[in-house]
A = this chain, B = another copy of it.
Amino acid sequence: MSIEPFNKYTEVPEVVILRLPLYVRVLTKLDEDRETVISSYQLGQLLQMTPAQIRKDLSYFGRFGKQGRGYNVLFLLEELKRILGIDHGWKACLIGAGGLGRAILNYPGFSPEGFEIVSAFDVDEYKNGMLIGSVRVQSMKDLPIIISQHSIKIGIVAVPASQAQNVIDHLIKHGITGILNYAPIAPIVPKTVTIRNVDPVLSLQSMTFYMTERGK
């Protein structure tokens, strides 16, 4: 029994985790450009952040730099990938093979980063068997077996808003622990599941605030 108020072990702030992929992205670019060393100041220039913030963020995970010199680009890049769990590939399944789902399947940005959509599902039985890119659309009733056979942990939701929460609940029931949701809703998920929403309309709606007199 402690006299002081209970304070759980200081975790890494979520905002920090959200920034790590940005670091990965610029480091990847720097590596492609054959840069071998970079300082927190230079990283800050590229990302429009303060050098102190970058150093503090990295310090949550270890000591990756060299005083007087900076960070080794490739070393820091690989450390960050390991921390984020993207030093290996991830399989994902897609739910919803409409216009949006098709665009997601054809989006060339996922697989170079190690995210592979290995399977697609749609409630519409007419779409079953259709080939989109290299993926064949399957019936929703095959979802449990496919998820378990391929050990899929990520679900990408591209169904209409009205069905999205149901689909999300269904995915979670069958073992999905990460969801990338494209439906324009505010989904409710247990704390054991990580969800990210892709919602360009929300982005535009907060943008317009700053584009009106009111926002200045």
Query: Footprint of B on A, CB under 8 Å?
Result: 17-18, 20-22, 24-26, 46-48, 83-86, 90, 99-100, 102-103, 106-110, 113, 115, 153-154, 177-178, 180, 184-186, 188, 194-196, 198, 200-212, 214-215
Contact = CB atoms under 8 A, between A and B. Distances in A.
Contacts of A103: 99-100, 102-103, 106
Contacts of A26: 186
Contacts of A184: 25, 109
Contacts of A115: 201, 204
Given A103-B99, A103-B100, A207 B178 contact: yes
B18 A206 contact: yes
A59 B192 CA distance: 33
A74 B73 CA distance: 53
B202 A21 contact: yes
Nearest to A112: B201
6 contacts: A85-B208, A86-B208, A90-B208, A103-B106, A113-B201, A153-B211
Contact of A84 (B110, B154, B195, B208): B208
B196 A203 contact: yes
Given A85-B211, A153-B211, A205 B48 contact: no
Contacts of A202: 18, 21-22, 25
Given A85-B214, A209-B20, A211-B85, A109 B201 contact: yes
A164 B51 CA distance: 25
